[in-house]
Amino acid sequence: MLLRQFVIIILVAAVAGVGLNLVSPNRIDFIGKYRSLSSGDGPIVPPTAEPGDPPFISIEVAELEHSNYQVVFIDARDAGEFVCGTIPGSVNIPFEYLPEGDLRPYIDSVLGGLPGDYHFIIFCSGEECDLSLHLGRTMQELGYTNLSIFFGGWREWVQFGLDVERRESCDG
């Protein structure tokens, strides 16, 4: 009897879930395309990425670009995480603490007045973090035209043993 109840519950759930997903405006593909945890074999693209988002770059491209002086890395995490460790030379624009009002002058000032078509690479903690994606979209709306998102972020950078910059020593 217990097995029969399992089957009924799961069958009803499957019919309801699949049925709703066929007609819902929020429907998703039944088989998604996901990469496994950072392996460095390509860019990590979050499932919430949408057409028109800034391009996502891999750890190899991020490392290559980092050695190029014509790019600025933007750390979208909060200031506490930023000072504890970040990609060397990054600037901090904490997405969750953006000021109210017109953001363009604020971001311009953080970026030292660099032009809107300068290449900026945005990152945050890693795959569980959406801040880089949200900051990328916000900057796109503000007219920045040459953005990339390094979605592997801080965690992948550390996993690959690359140089880091620590402005304060922090526990953990």
Partner 1 sequence: MRRLVDNDYLTMVVRLAVGVTFIYASYYKILDPAGFAKSIWYYHLLPGGLINITAVILPWVELICGLGLIFGVLYRGAAVLTTTMTVIFTVALVSALARGIDIDCGCFKVARSSSETVLDSLLFDIVLLILLWQLLVSRSRRWMLSRW
Strands 71-75 and 91-92: parallel
Residue 49 CA to residue 30 CA, distance in Å, equals 17
Contacts of 59 (CB under 8 A, 6+ apart): 38, 40, 150, 152, 156, 157, 160
Whole-angstrom CA distances from 170 to 81, 131, 163 are 9, 22, 17
Q: Which is nearer to partner 1, 111 or 129 (CB)?
A: 129
Q: Closest separation between CB of residue 23 and partner 1, Å?
A: 12
Residue number with CB closer to partner 1 (49 or 114): 49
User: Smallest distance from the beta carbon of 19 to partner 1, in angstroms?
Assistant: 10
For partner 1, the closer of residues 65 and 127 by Cβ is 127
Q: Rule CB under 8 A: which residues touch partner 1?
A: 1-2, 4-6, 8-10, 12-14, 16-18, 20-21, 24, 26-37, 46-48, 96, 125, 127-131
Q: How far is the CB of 48 from partner 1 (least distance, A)?
A: 6
Question: Least distance in Å: CB of 146 to partner 1?
Answer: 27
Instruction: Give the number of other Cβ atoms within 10 Å of residue 107's Cβ.
Output: 22
